[in-house]
Structure 1
Protein backbone atom coordinates (compact mmCIF):
# COMPACT_ATOMS: atom_id res chain seq x y z
CA UNK A 1 0.00 0.00 0.00
CA UNK A 2 1.14 3.52 -0.77
CA UNK A 3 2.26 4.99 2.59
CA UNK A 4 1.65 8.52 1.30
CA UNK A 5 -1.98 7.69 0.52
CA UNK A 6 -2.43 6.01 3.90
CA UNK A 7 -1.42 9.25 5.63
CA UNK A 8 -4.04 11.23 3.68
CA UNK A 9 -6.97 8.89 4.39
CA UNK A 10 -8.81 9.77 7.59
CA UNK A 11 -11.89 8.62 9.46
CA UNK A 12 -14.07 11.59 10.40
CA UNK A 13 -17.06 11.11 12.68
CA UNK A 14 -20.36 11.73 10.90
CA UNK A 15 -22.95 13.95 12.56
CA UNK A 16 -26.69 13.32 12.56
CA UNK A 17 -27.13 16.03 9.89
CA UNK A 18 -24.61 14.19 7.63
CA UNK A 19 -26.62 10.98 7.56
CA UNK A 20 -29.01 11.84 4.67
CA UNK A 21 -26.12 12.56 2.29
CA UNK A 22 -24.16 9.57 3.68
CA UNK A 23 -27.18 7.34 2.97
CA UNK A 24 -27.57 8.67 -0.59
CA UNK A 25 -23.87 8.15 -1.41
CA UNK A 26 -23.88 4.68 0.15
CA UNK A 27 -26.93 3.61 -1.86
CA UNK A 28 -25.39 4.99 -5.08
CA UNK A 29 -22.22 2.98 -4.48
CA UNK A 30 -24.17 -0.20 -3.70
CA UNK A 31 -26.47 0.28 -6.72
CA UNK A 32 -23.46 0.74 -9.02
CA UNK A 33 -22.06 -2.55 -7.72
CA UNK A 34 -25.42 -4.26 -8.18
CA UNK A 35 -25.71 -3.07 -11.79
CA UNK A 36 -22.08 -3.99 -12.48
CA UNK A 37 -22.55 -7.51 -11.12
CA UNK A 38 -26.15 -8.39 -11.95
CA UNK A 39 -27.20 -5.80 -14.52
CA UNK A 40 -30.37 -5.09 -12.54
CA UNK A 41 -31.32 -2.01 -10.58
CA UNK A 42 -35.09 -2.36 -10.40
CA UNK A 43 -35.13 -3.58 -6.80
CA UNK A 44 -35.13 -0.08 -5.33
CA UNK A 45 -32.44 1.38 -3.13
CA UNK A 46 -29.92 -1.13 -1.80
CA UNK A 47 -29.55 -1.28 1.17
CA UNK A 48 -33.04 -0.09 1.96
CA UNK A 49 -33.58 3.21 3.75
CA UNK A 50 -34.85 1.23 6.74
CA UNK A 51 -31.76 -1.02 6.88
CA UNK A 52 -29.42 1.96 6.74
CA UNK A 53 -31.33 3.86 9.42
CA UNK A 54 -31.22 0.80 11.66
CA UNK A 55 -27.45 0.60 11.20
CA UNK A 56 -26.97 4.32 11.92
CA UNK A 57 -28.99 4.24 15.11
CA UNK A 58 -28.14 0.78 16.45
CA UNK A 59 -26.60 0.47 19.90
CA UNK A 60 -22.80 0.56 19.68
CA UNK A 61 -22.91 2.09 16.15
CA UNK A 62 -20.22 4.56 15.13
CA UNK A 63 -20.43 6.22 11.71
CA UNK A 64 -17.43 7.72 9.92
CA UNK A 65 -16.82 9.50 6.66
CA UNK A 66 -13.76 8.19 4.84
CA UNK A 67 -11.90 11.30 3.82
CA UNK A 68 -9.06 11.72 1.33
CA UNK A 69 -7.35 15.11 1.48
CA UNK A 70 -10.44 16.59 3.15
CA UNK A 71 -12.89 15.21 0.55
CA UNK A 72 -15.41 12.53 1.53
CA UNK A 73 -14.79 9.49 -0.67
CA UNK A 74 -16.68 6.87 1.32
CA UNK A 75 -18.02 5.92 4.67
CA UNK A 76 -18.32 3.18 7.23
CA UNK A 77 -20.75 2.19 9.98
CA UNK A 78 -19.10 0.09 12.69
CA UNK A 79 -20.56 -1.63 15.71
CA UNK A 80 -18.02 -1.47 18.51
CA UNK A 81 -18.42 -3.73 21.53
CA UNK A 82 -16.12 -2.40 24.24
CA UNK A 83 -16.73 -5.44 26.47
CA UNK A 84 -16.05 -8.35 24.11
CA UNK A 85 -13.93 -6.44 21.54
CA UNK A 86 -15.75 -8.41 18.87
CA UNK A 87 -16.55 -5.63 16.44
CA UNK A 88 -18.53 -5.53 13.22
CA UNK A 89 -18.44 -3.62 9.96
CA UNK A 90 -22.11 -2.98 9.22
CA UNK A 91 -21.71 -0.86 6.10
CA UNK A 92 -18.58 0.18 4.20
CA UNK A 93 -18.37 1.89 0.86
CA UNK A 94 -15.86 3.74 -1.27
CA UNK A 95 -17.19 5.99 -4.01
CA UNK A 96 -16.96 4.21 -7.37
CA UNK A 97 -15.28 7.38 -8.74
CA UNK A 98 -12.26 6.63 -6.54
CA UNK A 99 -11.91 2.84 -6.94
CA UNK A 100 -8.53 1.25 -7.70
CA UNK A 101 -6.49 3.91 -5.91
CA UNK A 102 -5.79 2.05 -2.65
CA UNK A 103 -8.30 4.12 -0.68
CA UNK A 104 -10.19 1.08 0.61
CA UNK A 105 -7.01 -0.55 1.92
CA UNK A 106 -5.88 2.70 3.53
CA UNK A 107 -9.33 3.14 5.09
CA UNK A 108 -9.21 -0.39 6.48
CA UNK A 109 -5.79 0.29 8.02
CA UNK A 110 -7.22 3.45 9.61
CA UNK A 111 -10.14 1.44 11.05
CA UNK A 112 -7.80 -1.15 12.56
CA UNK A 113 -5.61 1.63 13.99
CA UNK A 114 -8.68 3.37 15.48
CA UNK A 115 -9.71 0.16 17.28
CA UNK A 116 -6.48 -1.69 18.23
CA UNK A 117 -8.21 -3.56 21.08
CA UNK A 118 -10.38 -5.45 18.59
CA UNK A 119 -10.07 -9.22 18.92
CA UNK A 120 -12.32 -10.15 15.98
CA UNK A 121 -13.79 -8.12 13.13
CA UNK A 122 -16.93 -9.45 11.45
CA UNK A 123 -18.80 -8.39 8.31
CA UNK A 124 -21.23 -9.63 5.69
CA UNK A 125 -21.27 -9.15 1.93
CA UNK A 126 -23.57 -10.40 -0.85
CA UNK A 127 -22.53 -13.54 -2.70
CA UNK A 128 -22.19 -11.72 -6.06
CA UNK A 129 -19.89 -8.92 -4.85
CA UNK A 130 -16.61 -10.25 -6.25
CA UNK A 131 -14.85 -6.90 -5.73
CA UNK A 132 -15.78 -6.94 -2.02
CA UNK A 133 -14.86 -10.59 -1.59
CA UNK A 134 -11.47 -9.98 -3.22
CA UNK A 135 -10.92 -6.87 -1.10
CA UNK A 136 -11.77 -8.42 2.25
CA UNK A 137 -10.00 -11.75 1.68
CA UNK A 138 -6.96 -10.78 -0.39
CA UNK A 139 -6.32 -7.22 0.79
CA UNK A 140 -7.54 -7.12 4.40
CA UNK A 141 -6.93 -10.68 5.63
CA UNK A 142 -10.52 -11.74 6.35
CA UNK A 143 -11.70 -15.33 6.04
CA UNK A 144 -15.08 -16.51 4.82
CA UNK A 145 -16.56 -18.44 7.73
CA UNK A 146 -20.16 -18.98 6.64
CA UNK A 147 -22.43 -18.78 3.60
CA UNK A 148 -26.04 -17.84 4.32
CA UNK A 149 -28.54 -19.13 1.75
CA UNK A 150 -31.83 -21.01 1.61
CA UNK A 151 -30.12 -24.15 3.00
CA UNK A 152 -28.34 -22.23 5.76
CA UNK A 153 -30.41 -19.11 6.53
CA UNK A 154 -29.03 -16.20 8.49
CA UNK A 155 -30.50 -16.64 11.98
CA UNK A 156 -30.83 -12.85 12.30
CA UNK A 157 -33.02 -12.46 9.18
CA UNK A 158 -36.67 -13.41 8.74
CA UNK A 159 -37.24 -16.95 7.52
CA UNK A 160 -37.83 -17.21 3.78
CA UNK A 161 -38.82 -20.24 1.78
CA UNK A 162 -39.51 -20.77 -1.91
CA UNK A 163 -43.27 -21.10 -1.36
CA UNK A 164 -43.74 -17.80 0.43
CA UNK A 165 -45.30 -14.97 -1.50
CA UNK A 166 -42.31 -12.68 -1.18
CA UNK A 167 -41.30 -9.96 -3.61
CA UNK A 168 -37.61 -10.38 -2.75
CA UNK A 169 -35.83 -13.17 -4.65
CA UNK A 170 -34.11 -15.80 -2.52
CA UNK A 171 -30.72 -14.68 -3.86
CA UNK A 172 -31.08 -11.43 -1.89
CA UNK A 173 -30.68 -13.53 1.23
CA UNK A 174 -27.36 -15.05 0.07
CA UNK A 175 -24.46 -13.55 1.99
CA UNK A 176 -20.98 -14.52 3.05
CA UNK A 177 -20.00 -13.91 6.67
CA UNK A 178 -16.36 -12.93 7.09
CA UNK A 179 -14.15 -12.77 10.17
CA UNK A 180 -10.71 -11.42 10.81
CA UNK A 181 -9.13 -12.61 14.03
CA UNK A 182 -6.63 -10.00 15.13
CA UNK A 183 -3.36 -11.42 16.33
CA UNK A 184 -1.98 -9.96 19.52
CA UNK A 185 1.22 -9.00 17.69
CA UNK A 186 -0.80 -7.09 15.09
CA UNK A 187 -2.83 -5.36 17.79
CA UNK A 188 0.35 -4.33 19.63
CA UNK A 189 1.99 -3.14 16.39
CA UNK A 190 -0.99 -0.87 15.66
CA UNK A 191 -0.84 0.54 19.19
CA UNK A 192 2.82 1.60 18.75
Structure 2
Protein backbone atom coordinates (compact mmCIF):
# COMPACT_ATOMS: atom_id res chain seq x y z
CA UNK A 1 0.00 0.00 0.00
CA UNK A 2 1.12 3.54 -0.77
CA UNK A 3 -0.15 6.65 0.99
CA UNK A 4 -0.36 9.95 -0.86
CA UNK A 5 -2.21 13.09 0.22
CA UNK A 6 -4.04 11.24 2.96
CA UNK A 7 -5.36 8.57 0.58
CA UNK A 8 -4.31 4.94 0.43
CA UNK A 9 -3.51 3.34 -2.94
CA UNK A 10 -3.40 -0.43 -3.35
CA UNK A 11 -3.14 -2.55 -6.48
CA UNK A 12 -6.61 -3.47 -7.70
CA UNK A 13 -7.53 -7.14 -7.17
CA UNK A 14 -10.43 -9.41 -8.08
CA UNK A 15 -11.84 -8.95 -4.57
CA UNK A 16 -12.08 -5.19 -5.22
CA UNK A 17 -14.58 -5.68 -8.05
CA UNK A 18 -17.49 -6.44 -5.71
CA UNK A 19 -16.42 -3.73 -3.26
CA UNK A 20 -16.03 -0.95 -5.84
CA UNK A 21 -18.76 -1.73 -8.40
CA UNK A 22 -21.45 -0.05 -6.23
CA UNK A 23 -19.17 2.99 -5.83
CA UNK A 24 -18.58 3.12 -9.59
CA UNK A 25 -22.31 2.77 -10.30
CA UNK A 26 -23.11 5.55 -7.87
CA UNK A 27 -20.45 7.87 -9.37
CA UNK A 28 -21.55 7.36 -12.97
CA UNK A 29 -25.26 7.53 -12.12
CA UNK A 30 -24.70 10.83 -10.28
CA UNK A 31 -22.97 12.27 -13.36
CA UNK A 32 -25.77 11.06 -15.63
CA UNK A 33 -28.42 12.50 -13.32
CA UNK A 34 -26.61 15.82 -13.08
CA UNK A 35 -25.95 16.32 -16.79
CA UNK A 36 -28.58 14.28 -18.65
CA UNK A 37 -31.42 14.25 -16.15
CA UNK A 38 -31.59 10.46 -16.44
CA UNK A 39 -31.64 8.15 -13.40
CA UNK A 40 -28.80 5.86 -14.48
CA UNK A 41 -26.07 5.59 -17.07
CA UNK A 42 -22.44 4.76 -17.65
CA UNK A 43 -20.14 2.70 -19.83
CA UNK A 44 -20.98 -0.93 -20.52
CA UNK A 45 -20.55 -3.04 -17.42
CA UNK A 46 -20.17 -0.13 -15.00
CA UNK A 47 -23.06 -1.44 -12.91
CA UNK A 48 -22.31 -5.18 -12.73
CA UNK A 49 -18.51 -5.42 -12.36
CA UNK A 50 -17.79 -6.26 -16.00
CA UNK A 51 -16.10 -2.90 -16.64
CA UNK A 52 -13.71 -3.34 -13.72
CA UNK A 53 -12.99 -6.96 -14.63
CA UNK A 54 -12.26 -5.97 -18.24
CA UNK A 55 -10.10 -2.89 -17.58
CA UNK A 56 -8.86 -2.78 -13.97
CA UNK A 57 -7.83 -6.45 -14.03
CA UNK A 58 -6.43 -6.26 -17.55
CA UNK A 59 -2.76 -7.33 -17.49
CA UNK A 60 -1.86 -4.35 -19.71
CA UNK A 61 -3.34 -1.80 -17.28
CA UNK A 62 -2.29 -0.63 -13.86
CA UNK A 63 -5.17 -0.05 -11.50
CA UNK A 64 -5.43 1.08 -7.91
CA UNK A 65 -8.13 0.82 -5.29
CA UNK A 66 -8.29 4.13 -3.44
CA UNK A 67 -9.24 4.30 0.23
CA UNK A 68 -9.70 7.11 2.71
CA UNK A 69 -9.46 6.25 6.40
CA UNK A 70 -9.28 2.57 5.37
CA UNK A 71 -12.65 2.77 3.55
CA UNK A 72 -12.65 2.11 -0.23
CA UNK A 73 -13.82 5.26 -2.04
CA UNK A 74 -12.88 4.71 -5.69
CA UNK A 75 -10.32 3.57 -8.22
CA UNK A 76 -8.02 4.74 -10.99
CA UNK A 77 -6.97 2.79 -14.10
CA UNK A 78 -4.01 3.78 -16.28
CA UNK A 79 -2.25 2.32 -19.30
CA UNK A 80 1.51 2.82 -19.23
CA UNK A 81 3.18 2.53 -22.60
CA UNK A 82 6.83 1.94 -23.52
CA UNK A 83 7.03 5.31 -25.27
CA UNK A 84 5.74 7.00 -22.07
CA UNK A 85 2.69 8.40 -23.87
CA UNK A 86 0.19 7.05 -21.37
CA UNK A 87 -3.58 6.80 -21.12
CA UNK A 88 -5.71 7.63 -18.12
CA UNK A 89 -8.55 5.18 -18.56
CA UNK A 90 -10.74 6.01 -15.60
CA UNK A 91 -10.95 7.77 -12.25
CA UNK A 92 -14.02 7.48 -10.07
CA UNK A 93 -14.76 8.28 -6.46
CA UNK A 94 -17.82 8.09 -4.26
CA UNK A 95 -20.08 11.03 -5.18
CA UNK A 96 -20.44 11.93 -1.50
CA UNK A 97 -16.70 12.72 -1.51
CA UNK A 98 -16.55 14.57 -4.83
CA UNK A 99 -15.80 18.29 -5.08
CA UNK A 100 -13.43 18.09 -2.10
CA UNK A 101 -10.10 18.00 -3.97
CA UNK A 102 -9.67 14.21 -3.80
CA UNK A 103 -9.68 13.78 -7.58
CA UNK A 104 -6.72 16.14 -7.84
CA UNK A 105 -4.87 14.20 -5.13
CA UNK A 106 -5.47 11.03 -7.14
CA UNK A 107 -4.18 12.64 -10.32
CA UNK A 108 -1.10 14.02 -8.53
CA UNK A 109 -0.43 10.50 -7.21
CA UNK A 110 -0.52 9.17 -10.77
CA UNK A 111 1.85 11.90 -11.97
CA UNK A 112 4.26 11.11 -9.12
CA UNK A 113 3.99 7.36 -9.69
CA UNK A 114 4.88 7.66 -13.39
CA UNK A 115 7.45 10.49 -13.56
CA UNK A 116 8.77 9.34 -16.96
CA UNK A 117 5.49 10.16 -18.68
CA UNK A 118 5.97 12.38 -21.71
CA UNK A 119 2.26 12.85 -22.37
CA UNK A 120 -1.04 11.70 -20.93
CA UNK A 121 -4.26 11.16 -22.85
CA UNK A 122 -7.78 10.61 -21.61
CA UNK A 123 -11.34 10.98 -22.80
CA UNK A 124 -14.59 11.87 -21.14
CA UNK A 125 -18.24 12.22 -22.15
CA UNK A 126 -19.08 15.45 -23.94
CA UNK A 127 -22.01 16.10 -21.59
CA UNK A 128 -19.94 15.92 -18.40
CA UNK A 129 -19.02 19.55 -17.81
CA UNK A 130 -17.77 18.78 -14.33
CA UNK A 131 -15.23 16.34 -15.80
CA UNK A 132 -14.14 18.96 -18.36
CA UNK A 133 -13.52 21.42 -15.54
CA UNK A 134 -11.60 18.82 -13.54
CA UNK A 135 -9.32 17.73 -16.36
CA UNK A 136 -8.71 21.15 -17.90
CA UNK A 137 -8.76 23.57 -14.97
CA UNK A 138 -7.50 21.32 -12.16
CA UNK A 139 -5.22 18.76 -13.84
CA UNK A 140 -3.85 20.78 -16.75
CA UNK A 141 -5.17 18.77 -19.69
CA UNK A 142 -6.13 20.42 -22.97
CA UNK A 143 -9.04 19.44 -25.18
CA UNK A 144 -7.53 18.30 -28.48
CA UNK A 145 -10.55 16.80 -30.23
CA UNK A 146 -14.30 16.45 -29.86
CA UNK A 147 -15.87 13.34 -31.37
CA UNK A 148 -19.57 13.57 -32.27
CA UNK A 149 -19.85 17.15 -30.95
CA UNK A 150 -23.56 17.48 -31.74
CA UNK A 151 -24.52 14.20 -30.08
CA UNK A 152 -25.50 14.90 -26.48
CA UNK A 153 -25.27 11.23 -25.50
CA UNK A 154 -22.30 9.98 -27.55
CA UNK A 155 -20.08 13.04 -27.82
CA UNK A 156 -16.58 12.52 -26.43
CA UNK A 157 -13.85 14.96 -25.50
CA UNK A 158 -10.29 13.78 -26.14
CA UNK A 159 -7.78 15.46 -23.83
CA UNK A 160 -4.02 15.44 -23.52
CA UNK A 161 -1.47 16.73 -21.07
CA UNK A 162 2.09 17.39 -22.18
CA UNK A 163 4.46 16.73 -19.30
CA UNK A 164 7.59 18.79 -18.58
Gaps of 5+ in 1: 1-5, 152-169, 184-192
1:86 equivalent in structure 2: 85
> Cα deviation per residue 1:70-106 (whole Å; 9 max; x = unaligned)?
222221111111x111111111112111122211111
Which stretches of structure 1, 4 residues or more, deviate above 6 A after TM superposition? none
The 1:110/1:132 distance shift into structure 2, 3 A limit, reads same
Q: Secondary structure at the match of 1:60?
A: coil
Q: Secondary structure at the match of 2:5?
A: helix
> Cα deviation per residue 1:101-128 (whole Å; 9 max; x = unaligned)?
2111111111111111111111110011
Work out which of the residue numbers 13, 18, 35 in structure 1 matches 2:11. Answer: 13
> Cα deviation per residue 1:9-46 (whole Å; 9 max; x = unaligned)?
2321111121233233212201111011111135xx51
Of the two, which has the highest radius of gyration? 1
Distance 1:67 1:20 in 2: 15
How many residues were matched structurally? 158
What TM-score, normalized by structure 1, do the two folds share?
0.74
Gaps of 5+ in 2: none
Work out which of the residue numbers 149, 154, 157 in structure 2 matches 1:176. Answer: 157
Query: Which structure's residues are more often helix, by fraction?
Result: 1
Query: What RMSD, in angstroms, separates the aligned Cα atoms of the two structures?
Result: 2.1
What TM-score, normalized by structure 2, do the two folds share?
0.86
Is the 2:123–2:159 contact (alpha carbons within 8 Å) kept by the matching residues of 1? Answer: yes
Ranked by relative contact order (alpha carbons within 8 Å, sequence separation 6 or more), the top structure is: 1
